[in-house]
Amino acid sequence: MMDLPTWWSVIDDLNLGSAFRIELEQLSRRPVSAESGKTLSFLLDQGFVQKAVHLLPFFQHIVIKCGDVGALVVMRIAPEDATKSGWKDERSNPMRRFVVAAGKTGSIVVVQHFPAIPVQSLINVTGAGDSFVGGLLATLAEIPSVFCHPKSLEEAILNAQKAAVATLQSRSAVSPLLSKLD
């Protein structure tokens, strides 16, 4: 993948320098959630962000489910979409769990962590990931530009997490309650 000239040109355009790394390190020191004693250090220590960034030349939006520590979104908003994106005026805010970087030609890179929704009673893990993906795809089918706006992305991930939690609390591989979720 690194042998392709297009890979190098996209990575170079992302312009991810020391400021991006420092902001990611600040993000990695944040707690996983208000209730957890764990930090987000796994994002860097286990290479989640680095590996996702290496895939950005091929996949514009990457959503990584992280089980009981939430979900991670790493995305590249192309220059032609960046001007109308809600991310264009955002600055990195590790306290709000996101890092934003501006590329050389107007692209935007966003790394955002979403804490997990607490699960009342874990009954069955089968199908939870599928329910998450299905919930996210249902939102994308309705609102294709969901990744371009911070608030709509937050709502989409929350809905996907609700779908996963409903399945985790169900004896079925996919919770019958999914058709009733907002």
Collect the ranges in the chain with pLDDT lower than 50. Answer: none
Same-domain check for residues 77 and 137: no
Same-domain check for residues 98 and 125: no
Same-domain check for residues 167 and 83: no
Distance separating alpha carbons of residues 60 and 80, to the nearest angstrom? 13
Position 23 scores a pLDDT of: 97
Position 182 scores a pLDDT of: 57
Position 177 scores a pLDDT of: 74
Domain boundaries, position 166: 119-182
Instruction: Single out the residue of 135, 127, 133, 137 nearest to residue 174, CA to CA.
Output: 127
Position 132 scores a pLDDT of: 93
Same-domain check for residues 84 and 145: no
Position 36 scores a pLDDT of: 77
Distance separating alpha carbons of residues 33 and 179, to the nearest angstrom? 28
Other Cβ atoms within 10 Å of 91 Cβ, number: 10
Sheet bearing 61-65, strands edge to edge: 61-65, 71-77, 108-114, 98-102
Phi, psi of 102 (to 5 degrees): -95, 130
Position 91 scores a pLDDT of: 95
Distance separating alpha carbons of residues 77 and 55, to the nearest angstrom? 13
**Domain end position, chosen among 98, 116, 134:** 116
> What's the pLDDT tens digit per position in 104-141?
999 999 999 999 998 888 788 888 889 999 999 999 99
On the 0-12 / 13-18 / 19+ scale of CB atoms within 10 A, 63 is buried
Same-domain check for residues 171 and 102: no
Q: How is residue 16 written in tokens? A: 């991810």
Position 171 scores a pLDDT of: 77
